[in-house]
């Protein structure tokens, strides 16, 4: 189901583009978040796993300061810039992610070489599975390795996040980059987004992680995202805590009159969602699918009614999946919202029922066709010599 272009084929493409083969490849995955949405930038908890969908960047160091980049997804385009000059956004959307990572690394004083690069990715784009974080982490890993920057995995993740925050102007949290850097096969990771500590939580063998991509075009996602973040920060300030991580439902109700309705609802989502993540870790450790099912249902309900980041097609898709699985499986929207994908957890014997329910109902109700991926949790960033 996952298309992976053989590395030899990619290296031939690299050779045709640059006249010599690549020396190594940097590989970083997309992610799916099992639970804990919009908690990361509130210093809270999340429970994602890395996917086996990866962004791979083949590269070879140059002896100047030029960065040349080709992408297998945009064969008629190419990105090129000299990083000894001031970096400003260029014309290519994807090229700006390269500029962004170079910008933040250089701003911190790291000495970078020039590189020829070729990108190939099978992370579905625009579906909330973090294709951009995969690119940022693969790039950070590439520079770290080839220029001996001695960065830790979490430092590489933070550079990816800063690239988004300070160059792309998306005020995202740390979840996507941290799981892309640190992911472990067959495990979800509970991330403490304050300390950046990670705790591996094994995904039981008999539990399937299923991604149902709604293919609903994500609109307004970045601007609404930034507005949610401001509401959360305001709510924390009004309650007198550093971040919503530090607030309780008791404190929230004490301040209800001082908060706008939106601030109250956004904070309620974050406070309850943090607790759901902690509960979901226990449920996953105990392979308690009934409890996971309830937590995922409550998480989706909270995203729909309190954080207000879902759209009718996503709510409908979650309902189709939840109804098919009942108490023996869970379903919720995953990622930033306003479209994207739904994540389901279920047993093998319920897989066919789930797929049939999506095929029978989703297109009929929303005139869209979903893509369904049955996934394994994959590994995080790695560099391989070629
Ligand atoms: C996007 C952001 C993450 C996180 C999620 C919502 O994926 O990049 O930092 O905030 O949305 O949980």
Do 189 and 53 lie in a common domain?
yes
Residue 38 lies in a domain: yes
| Whether the predicted model's global pTM rises above the 0.95 cut | yes
Structure-token match 């609802």, residue found: 265
What would the two tokens of residue 111 be?
A: 């000495």
* Residue ranges making up the domain that contains 110: 7-202+378-385
Interval 67-116: pLDDT, tens: 999 999 999 999 999 999 999 999 999 999 999 999 999 999 999 999 99
CATH number at residue 62: 3.30.230.10
Query: Residue 48 and residue 52: Cα distance in Å, rounded?
Result: 13
What would the two tokens of residue 18 be?
A: 């640059």
Interval 322-378: pLDDT, tens: 999 999 999 999 999 999 999 999 999 999 999 999 999 999 999 999 999 999 999
220 confidence band (pLDDT: 50, 70, 90): low
CATH number at residue 338: 3.30.70.890
Q: How far is CA 41 from CA 117, 192, 194, in A?
A: 32, 11, 9
Do 165 and 82 lie in a common domain?
yes
Contacts of 9 (CB under 8 A, 6+ apart): none
176 tagged catalytic: yes
Do 139 and 37 lie in a common domain?
yes
Query: Residue 338 and residue 385: Cα distance in Å, rounded?
Result: 39
Over 90: is that where the pLDDT of 161 sits? yes
Contact 176 CB / ligand 1 (< 6 Å) = yes
Do 138 and 226 lie in a common domain?
no
Residue 1 lies in a domain: no
Q: Which atom of ligand 1 is nearest to the CA of 33?
A: 12
Number of compact structural domains in the chain:
2
Contact 175 CB / ligand 1 (< 6 Å) = yes
Closest C-alpha to ligand 1, atom 8: 172
Do 17 and 82 lie in a common domain?
yes
């Amino acid at each position: 189901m996952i298309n992976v272009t053989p590395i030899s084929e990619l290296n031939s493409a690299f050779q045709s583009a640059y006249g010599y083969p690549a020396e190594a490849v940097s590989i970083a995955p997309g992610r799916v978040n099992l639970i804990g949405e919009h908690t990361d930038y509130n210093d809270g908890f999340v429970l994602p796993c890395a996917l086996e969908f990866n962004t791979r960047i083949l590269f070879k160091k140059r002896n100047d300061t030029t960065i040349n980049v080709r992408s297998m997804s945009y064969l008629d385009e190419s990105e090129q810039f000299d990083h000894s000059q001031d970096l400003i956004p260029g014309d290519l959307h994807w090229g700006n992610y390269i500029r962004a990572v170079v910008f933040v690394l250089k701003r911190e004083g790291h000495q970078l070489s020039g590189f020829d690069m070729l990108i190939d990715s099978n992370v579905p784009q625009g579906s909330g599975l973090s294709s951009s974080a995969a690119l940022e982490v693969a790039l950070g890993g590439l520079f770290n390795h080839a220029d001996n920057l001695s960065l830790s995995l979490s430092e590489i993740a933070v550079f990816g996040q800063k690239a988004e925050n300070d160059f792309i102007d998306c005020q995202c949290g740390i979840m996507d980059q941290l799981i892309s850097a640190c992911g472990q096969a067959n495990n979800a990771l509970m991330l403490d987004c304050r300390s950046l500590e990670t705790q591996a939580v094994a995904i039981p063998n008999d539990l399937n992680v299923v991604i149902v991509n709604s293919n609903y075009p994500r609109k307004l996602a970045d601007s609404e995202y930034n507005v949610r973040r401001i509401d959360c920060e305001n709510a924390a300030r009004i309650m007198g805590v550093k971040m919503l991580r530090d607030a309780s439902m008791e404190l929230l109700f004490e301040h209800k009159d001082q908060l706008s309705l939106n601030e109250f609802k956004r904070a309620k989502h974050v406070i309850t969602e943090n607790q759901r993540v902690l509960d979901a870790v226990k449920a996953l450790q105990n392979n308690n699918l009934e409890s996971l099912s309830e937590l995922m249902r409550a998480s989706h309900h909270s995203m729909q009614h309190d954080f207000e980041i879902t759209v009718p097609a996503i709510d409908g898709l979650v309902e189709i999946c939840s109804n098919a699985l009942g108490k023996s499986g869970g379903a919720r929207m995953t990622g930033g919202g306003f479209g994207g994908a739904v994540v389901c957890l279920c047993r093998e014997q319920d897989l066919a029922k789930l797929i049939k329910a999506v095929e029978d109902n989703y297109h009929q109700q929303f005139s869209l066709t979903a893509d369904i991926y049955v996934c394994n949790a994959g590994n995080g960033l790695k560099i391989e010599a070629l």
